[in-house]
Amino acid sequence: MVYEVIIKPIVFPDVEEAIIFYNKIADYLAIRFYENLQASLEEIKLHPDNYFYISKPVRRHTIKKFPYSIYDIISDSRDHSDRCWSCQKK
C-alpha cells in the first residue's frame, strides 16, 4: 500500500521548542533529540504496524531517550492511505 505522509503543522512548534530547550542545556542534546526524532519517523515509515493503538486509529511511538512521543494516524481511502504525525511531550 502506498502512503502519503502528512506531518501536521502543529509538529513544527513542538519540535522547535524541544530543540531550543535541549540546546540551552547542551548543544549535543538538541542534536541527539533531532537525530532520534528522525530515526523514529523512519522506523514508523518502515514498520507502521509495530506500534500499539492508544485509541483507534491513533498509534504512539516514543522517541528513544526523550520524553516525547509521535502520534501516528493512518486513514484509508480508495486509492491510498494518509499518515498524519504529531510530536508531543508526554
CATH code of the domain containing 16: 3.30.2310.20
Q: Is the pLDDT of residue 84 over 80?
A: no
Q: What is the pTM of this model?
A: 0.79
Position 81 confidence tier, pLDDT thresholds 50, 70, 90: very low
- The alpha helices in 1-90, defined as continuous H runs, are 11-25, 27-46
pLDDT of residue 79: 45
Domain count, the chain: 1
pLDDT, the chain, mean: 80
Answer for the pair 82, 3: CB distance below 8 angstroms, yes or no: yes
Answer for the pair 15, 87: CB distance below 8 angstroms, yes or no: yes
d(CA 15, CA 17): 5
Q: Is the pLDDT of residue 82 over 70?
A: no
pLDDT of residue 24: 96
d(CA 5, CA 33): 21
Q: Torsion over CA of 56, 8, 86 and 47, rounded to 10 degrees?
A: 70
**Structural domain that includes position 41:** 3-89
Average pLDDT over residues 15-44: 92
Cell numbers that stand for 8 in this block? 501536521
Position 34 confidence tier, pLDDT thresholds 50, 70, 90: very high
How many CB atoms within 10 Å of residue 3? Answer: 12
